[in-house]
Amino acid sequence: MKLKHVHCSRLTNPDECMVADLACGARLDTIHGGVSHLIAARQADIPGFDPLEIVSQIYSASTGKPSPDWEAWECPECGTAHLGQERALECCQPIDE
């Protein structure tokens, strides 16, 4: 199944939206040669996440492609947005007991 990258505003959790927005901005920094999101990460306080680590991961990968772990992805079955490809793939999968 091919996953679709979606805008962070589709995420329902505001903290996850901030993470995805920061990751997307960091990815764009790697394309355009900026460091503005590194500065933003140092100032950000996102409960449950380490913004500086997220931006560092994006900068070190520097592929220019959306982050599979830190950006918003759409479930291919129901269309719900999730933070990370793994969570998007697990969304509508049956739970094995």
Answer whether residue 22 is part of any domain.
Answer: yes
Answer whether residue 95 is part of any domain.
Answer: no
Residues 6+ apart with CB under 8 A from 19: 46, 49, 51, 54, 70, 83
Per residue in 12-70, pLDDT (tens digit) is 999 999 999 999 999 999 988 888 999 999 999 999 999 999 999 999 987 888 999 99
> Band of the pLDDT at 96, cuts 50, 70, 90?
low
Q: What total number of domains does the chain contain?
A: 1
3-class SS of residue 50: coil
Per residue in 58-67, pLDDT (tens digit) is 999 878 889 9
Q: The domain containing residue 75 runs over which residues?
A: 4-90
Answer whether residue 20 is part of any domain.
Answer: yes
pTM, full prediction: 0.87
Of 1-5, 14-18, 91-95, give the range with the top mean pLDDT.
14-18
Answer whether residue 56 is part of any domain.
Answer: yes
